[in-house]
Amino acid sequence: MSVFEDANFRNATLTGAILSGATFTNAKMAYANIDNALLRSAKLNNAVMNQAKLTKSDLTKAYARCVELSGADLTGAILKNVDFKFGYFMDANFSGADLTDADLSNTNLRNANFTGAILTRTKFNNAIMTDCVF
């Protein structure tokens, strides 16, 4: 498994990358293009991914506690069983994403867009959801 702890991927292009099980703890990934990537069971805790593009990426069972995804585009992403606890998602776009069994407890989701998202058994305990769109 690849380890990218504290790595700087700002503005990087990782489109279609196969990074399942990779570790990105504390990585800087703001503005990165990570569309159509395979990130199953990846470790993204404390990663800074503001304004990143993750459209149609598969993050099934990823561990992403305290991740920053403010303004990120997660349109059509597969986010099943992802642990997003304590994350920051202000203005994030989850349109058409599959968040089945995802845990978004204690997150800031202010202004997030969930239009057409699958939210089966998704946990939003203590989440800030001001001005979200469903």
Residue range of the domain that includes 130: 1-134
Question: What is the residue whose two structure tokens read 């990537």?
Answer: 37
pLDDT digits (tens, 9 = 90+) for 47-100: 999 999 999 999 999 999 999 999 999 999 999 999 999 999 999 999 999 999
- Tell me the chain's radius of gyration from C-alpha atoms: 13
pLDDT digits (tens, 9 = 90+) for 32-58: 999 999 999 999 999 999 999 999 999
Q: Which residues pair with 38 in a beta bridge?
A: 18, 58
pLDDT digits (tens, 9 = 90+) for 98-123: 999 999 999 999 999 999 999 999 99
Sign of the alpha-carbon torsion through 29, 94, 98, 80: positive
The total number of structural domains that make up the chain: 1
Residue 83, pLDDT score? 98
For residue 1, is pLDDT > 90? Answer: no
* CA within 13 Å, CB half, 58: 10
Q: How far is CA 16 from the centre of its chain?
A: 16
DSSP labels, 41-86: T-B-TT-B-TT-B-TT-B-TT-B-TT-B-TT-B-TT-B-TT-B-TT
